Structure 1
Amino acid sequence: MSNCCPPKTEHAESSRQDSHRQGVREAYAKVAKANNQGEGCGIESSCCGVSDDAAINTLISTRLGYSAEDLAKAPGGADMGLGCGNPRAIASLQPGETVVDLGAGGGFDCFLAAHEVGETGHVIGVDMTPDMLSKARNNAVKGHYDNVEFRLGEIEHLPVENETADVIISNCVINLSPDKPQVFREAFRILKPGGRLAISDVVATVELPEAMRNDPALIAGCMGNASLIEALGAMIKDAGFTDVRIEPKDESKEFIRDWAPDHNVTDYVVSATIEALKPRSCPPGSGCC
């Protein structure tokens, strides 16, 4: 006799993930609204210490590896200081490519990518927070970006067709997900054969204490839900990717330390670049298709 209802443990895990995701969504809705109103973000330990001050955000982004030319290209208000690196620096974007940005925020990386892929290229930014999506779309209109669009959706359930993207970028977002293996399975699904991941994210170098893992502010601040490097690499490989490279950036501790001054977060987490390829074809028995 079949059971029409999911097991209690499955239901509990689904509820936990929904609660986690809603907490993150609410935190970043506050960031978007505060930024629009010219106020502080209201999140003490947010990624890179979000500010409504353009000069401060410029300083933050420069520390993350963006050039003055990069910052000048994007519409005002797109750079919200929410990253932990510069994924575009490792993406090797080419004219005509299609790029998908997981967790696009105000659209900063999308707009920079749009310049590289050109008029024949296409950039899709996905974000689960309506307030962020509205901000990004307004920025696109201000900057006259006809080759950029923004879609509402969760990175675990991307509103993108199979084999759409040449490149997936993401900046300090995947760490926030309550189901990272599903994120990478979705990334694999929407990439074309031969497509690539180019990600900047926060990773754990050692196991985080339970108190940090359960701290809502540290979770929303891109630290409390970071995965161990070895575990993250296994997730990416299990999704079907090859040539997985995760390179911690020790210099990132200089700015991560400022995210949560009252916690010794740099004893546990660091920013890293994450790269991987979707095979052009699947060897027999590989399980990648």
Structure 2
Amino acid sequence: MKTDNELKELVRQKYSEIALQDKATNAASCCGAAGCSTEVYNIMSDDYTALEGYTSDADLGLGCGLPTQFAQIKPGNTVIDLGSGAGNDCFVARAATGVSGKVIGIDFTPAMIEKARTNAEKLGFNNVEFRQGDIEQMPVTANVADVVVSNCVLNLVPNKDGVFKEIFRVLKPGGHFSISDVVLVGNLPEALRKDAEMYAGCVSGAIQKDVYLELIRVNGFENIIIQKEKPIIIPDDILLNYLTHQKIAAFKNGTTGIFSITVFAQKQEQTAGCCAPGCC
């Protein structure tokens, strides 16, 4: 079993490689981790092209939802994108905040930061910045963000509880997040669950849906809403790397499911005498 630091280093290495791949390679795989499927369709990602601010050079096909579409971003907002990659969600968020707002992308892969900064310079955006850092210890002061977004990233982080604590810290009172992520219902076959390559591909790093939602609740968030949910179907030619044909059939006919969910939650407004986490 790999340690948390070993898993994080694996993700850093894989996403450094992904930064150099084209979108078609990434989109035909599981979160871009391995271009091993011969079935030509996107396993997880949704279509961003109709959203204002979409920039094709920043779209690596790595997401599992459209969190910025649901994030209720307003002009002048400060938005933080966790695991910002080449900047796709940041540029969509910037279209919503306008020139009076600010967007901060955080990613711990240097190659992604470089690619995102290059894209921002090409677009001439001076209110979008990218900071290299760990989302478990964000390089951002407390109570600075109106909105936090993230797309298919928290499932890659071993310490998800720590990330939700950090999201709570950086959000202003009354601020909110909209996060797309991969979750499970039921238990994955052991071969899938323990394989490190599948961890970098989002699946074995996912946790149970009810545990995920409970982590949000216990970290002080309220008004928790699932804005969108869809099943994730892994093609047989990927599953055959881990399971026999018989086990694949049992897996598909069982009660286990892999889902993409987009979740909204809010940090409560600060009130006199409030003693909730982070507001005193």
Which TM class, normalised by the smaller chain length?
A: 0.7 to 0.9
* Match of residue 185 from structure 2: 205
Q: 2:153 matched to 1:173?
A: yes
Amino acid at match of 1:253: I
Question: Shift of residue 200 of structure 1?
Answer: 0.8
Distance between the aligned counterparts of 1:253 and 1:213, measured in 2? 15
Distance between the aligned counterparts of 2:42 and 2:28, measured in 1? 15
Question: Shift of residue 217 of structure 1?
Answer: 1.7
Q: 2:152 matched to 1:134?
A: no
* Match of residue 279 from structure 1: 268
* Match of residue 253 from structure 1: 232
* Match of residue 64 from structure 1: 46
Distance between the aligned counterparts of 1:211 and 1:62, measured in 2? 21
Question: Shift of residue 234 of structure 1?
Answer: 1.4
Amino acid at match of 1:209: P
More helix per residue: 1 or 2? 1
Q: How does 1:19-58 map to 2 (within 5 A)?
A: 19-35=6-22, 40=25, 45-47=29-31
* Match of residue 10 from structure 1: none
Residue by residue, what CA displacement relative to the aligned partner does 1:124-154 show, whole Å, maximum 9, x if unpaired? 0000000011000001011111110000001
Question: Shift of residue 269 of structure 1?
Answer: 1.1
Q: 2:198 matched to 1:214?
A: no
Structure 1, unaligned stretches of length 5 or more? 1-12
Q: 1:285 to 1:95 in 2, by over 3 A?
A: closer
SS of match in other structure, 1:109: helix
Residue by residue, what CA displacement relative to the aligned partner does 1:56-84 show, whole Å, maximum 9, x if unpaired? 9xx859971434354xx434420000000
Distance between the aligned counterparts of 1:286 and 1:168, measured in 2? 20
Question: Shift of residue 89 of structure 1?
Answer: 1.6
Q: 2:101 matched to 1:121?
A: yes
Question: Shift of residue 33 of structure 1?
Answer: 2.4
Question: Shift of residue 108 of structure 1?
Answer: 0.4
Q: Do the aligned residues in 2 keep the contact of 1:167 with 1:191 (CA within 8 Å)?
A: yes
Q: 1:202 to 1:147 in 2, by over 3 A?
A: same
Distance between the aligned counterparts of 2:54 and 2:49, measured in 1? 12
* Match of residue 141 from structure 2: 161
Q: 1:39 to 1:167 in 2, by over 3 A?
A: closer
Q: Do the aligned residues in 2 keep the contact of 1:49 with 1:258 (CA within 8 Å)?
A: no
Question: Shift of residue 268 of structure 1?
Answer: 3.1
Q: Do the aligned residues in 2 keep the contact of 1:102 with 1:155 (CA within 8 Å)?
A: yes
Q: 1:275 to 1:108 in 2, by over 3 A?
A: same
* Match of residue 63 from structure 2: 83
SS of match in other structure, 1:77: helix
Distance between the aligned counterparts of 1:259 and 1:83, measured in 2? 21
Q: 1:199 to 1:162 in 2, by over 3 A?
A: same
* Match of residue 86 from structure 2: 106
Distance between the aligned counterparts of 1:50 and 1:81, measured in 2? 13
Amino acid at match of 1:280: E
Distance between the aligned counterparts of 2:215 and 2:269, measured in 1? 20
Q: Do the aligned residues in 2 keep the contact of 1:46 with 1:217 (CA within 8 Å)?
A: no
Q: 1:96 to 1:217 in 2, by over 3 A?
A: same
Amino acid at match of 2:178: A
Q: Do the aligned residues in 2 keep the contact of 1:84 with 1:171 (CA within 8 Å)?
A: yes
Distance between the aligned counterparts of 1:232 and 1:107, measured in 2? 26
Q: Do the aligned residues in 2 keep the contact of 1:218 with 1:224 (CA within 8 Å)?
A: yes
Q: Do the aligned residues in 1 keep the contact of 2:25 with 2:32 (CA within 8 Å)?
A: no
State the TM-score, normalized to the length of structure 2.
Answer: 0.83
Distance between the aligned counterparts of 2:135 and 2:237, measured in 1? 24
Structure 2, unaligned stretches of length 5 or more? none
Q: 2:139 matched to 1:150?
A: no
